[in-house]
Amino acid sequence: MSLLTPREILSAGAVIPVMAIHDLDTAVDLAHALVEGGIPTLEITLRTPVGLEAIRRIAKEVPDAIVGAGTVINPEQLQAVADAGAVFAISPGLHPTLAEAAADSSIPLIPGVATPSEVQLALEFGIDTLKLFPAEAVGGKAMLKALYGPYADVRFCPTGGITPATAPDYLALPNVLCVGGSWLTPKTAVQNRDWASITKLAQEAAALKTA
């Protein structure tokens, strides 16, 4: 897949599913189910032992997916996910060492921020497309509205505590490109390989963009 900008990545769908894959054998089918439902941008977290291999398999076998890595917290992980085929990386936070590594990386980093100072740190390194995390815990929509004043050119993917009921209000904000959520991949549905249910959840999430 050709190199996409962070804003193209986040604008491809209304919701980015935050996916902690425990069973590697479900990874490719799960990705196919989400893409079929209209959710192409996937965040595979490194919170599980098979996360990196899941990225590698999905990148190879699901060509229509925009595969990214989540929970990337240091330069070594950033390099590893790029080597595995991820086309973007998301981190829960930001520090100068990671920002410097991102400047030299072959894939874009979308770092997490929770305060104006962290937004300014990101901007200092030329990063203006961010993840607000943990969104609900740090003020949610009110925080995003407040940040829009001084940082009108910055765009966000709020993640953390967002539900199908609250997502439309976030998506209506001028500085929000999409939201992150874990509700698209219910553990029971994945364990049961109920891909039809996951595709239906993806279709409902994709429809939020035009709601």
Q: For residue 131, indicate whether it is catalytic.
A: yes
Annotated catalytic residue within 8, 36, 43, 209:
43
Q: Dihedral angle at the C-alpha atoms of 100, 120, 67, 196, nearest 10 degrees?
A: 160
DSSP E strands, the chain: 15-19, 41-45, 66-70, 88-91, 109-113, 129-132, 155-156, 179-181
Task: Give the full edge-to-edge strand order of the sheet including 155-156.
Answer: 155-156, 129-132, 109-113, 88-91, 66-70, 41-45, 15-19, 179-181
**Candidates 131, 136, 141, 204; catalytic one:** 131
Active site residue 118: no
Tokens of 68: 């990214």
Task: Give the residue numbers annotated as catalytic, written as ranges.
Answer: 43, 131
